[in-house]
Chain A
């Protein structure tokens, strides 16, 4: 891998890591969910430093071109991320429903109590 490319990937990774750290610090993402992205970046860094790591897995799985392997792998990761986000959203919808019901019932009781 050309040195130029390595530097580019390193810069990109540093940018991504600082972005994630900033988001966690500002409480915009939970630490729990940031770990997933940290691992993804770690993987990119490892691949940049040791290219044989990627090509090894690629030929092991039977891909003729390493780029095909990378694309397939990335799409698989994104699908996984999307599914976990769907799970999180569904769970949130459930708790919002519960909260809405409980707070509405409570409000109705309080209003009734005030009238008496």
Chain B
């Protein structure tokens, strides 16, 4: 079974090498692909020097466009499972086996590492204000799609082959984490949350740095509303 870690990186020179080495020393059979999203620091140079497989995006696309590039890479190289993993040292590789177990056992098509369900209460859970924001996003998803998700903004996810093909074609790029969950549920994929604990980020900035602003929240909620009405272009489902 071919397993790929998709690691989006934007100005992550402080953490990226450590992140990749942690994965490689945890299990040498895991492949990684770092998607360097047009970083302005030495991320690209470091990746080259350390011979880490990577794709340098020729211009900055944002987290959604970067992760989608990873899914396209996974399609081209025929991977069975793709794991989204942050480059900033926030995610803990020890939980990967729990994350992909339901996929290997064919109980789920897509799993989400969640900080807010039983068995995951100990680790870093973000600031209070962000948790309120996350709660509102979760509530909106529940109202719009009747699907309960506790950690819709988690970027620690795993996808099986069918979902890899789907996301390579249809990845949302404005607010990708919550939107993709809605899209996958709507399309009929089985999603499942797995308890994980996360670290506080070591360096770099969250891709969601405007969290506190009401403007961001309105945007997310609005886009979820739109996704719930949108037609899915399912070229690749079958």
Contact segment of B55-63, B137-145, B158-166, B206-214 = B55-63
The 10 closest A-B pairs by CB, nearest first: A108-B55, A101-B69, A104-B57, A97-B65, A104-B55, A104-B58, A100-B59, A100-B58, A100-B61, A100-B57
Residues of A within 8 A of B (CB): 97, 100-105, 107-108, 112
Check if A97 sits within 8 Å of B173, measured CB to CB: yes
Q: Does B54 contact A (CB under 8 A)?
A: yes
Docked complex Cα distance between A107 and B69 (Å): 13
Q: Which residues from chain A contact B69 at a C-beta distance below 8 Å? A: 101, 104-105
With contact pairs A100-B61, A101-B65 given, residues A108 and B72 touching in the complex (Cβ less than 8 Å): no
Report the minimum CB–CB distance from A8 to chain B (whole Å): 45
Q: Which residues from chain B contact A104 at a C-beta distance below 8 Å? A: 55-58, 69
Q: Which residues from chain A contact B54 at a C-beta distance below 8 Å? A: 108
With contact pairs A97-B65, A97-B173 given, residues A103 and B58 touching in the complex (Cβ less than 8 Å): yes
Output the nearest chain A residue to B173 by Cβ-Cβ distance. A97
Q: Which residues from chain B contact A97 at a C-beta distance below 8 Å? A: 61, 65, 173
Output the nearest chain A residue to B69 by Cβ-Cβ distance. A101
Q: Which residues from chain B contact A103 at a C-beta distance below 8 Å? A: 58
Check if A105 sits within 8 Å of B59, measured CB to CB: no
Report the minimum CB–CB distance from A105 to chain B (whole Å): 6
List B residues 61-117 near A (Cβ within 8 Å).
Answer: 61, 65, 68-69, 72-73, 76
Q: Which residues from chain A contact B57 at a C-beta distance below 8 Å? A: 100-101, 104
Docked complex Cα distance between A107 and B54 (Å): 11
Check if A105 sits within 8 Å of B73, measured CB to CB: yes
Q: Which residues from chain B contact A108 at a C-beta distance below 8 Å? A: 54-56, 73
* A–B Cβ pairs within 8 angstroms, 16 of them: A97-B65, A97-B173, A100-B57, A101-B57, A101-B65, A101-B68, A101-B69, A101-B72, A104-B57, A104-B58, A104-B69, A105-B69, A105-B72, A105-B73, A105-B76, A107-B56
Docked complex Cα distance between A101 and B58 (Å): 8
Q: Which residues from chain B contact A100 at a C-beta distance below 8 Å? A: 57-59, 61, 65
Check if A107 sits within 8 Å of B58, measured CB to CB: yes
Output the nearest chain B residue to A115 by Cβ-Cβ distance. B51
Docked complex Cα distance between A105 and B70 (Å): 9
Docked complex Cα distance between A103 and B56 (Å): 10
Q: Which residues from chain A contact B68 at a C-beta distance below 8 Å? A: 101
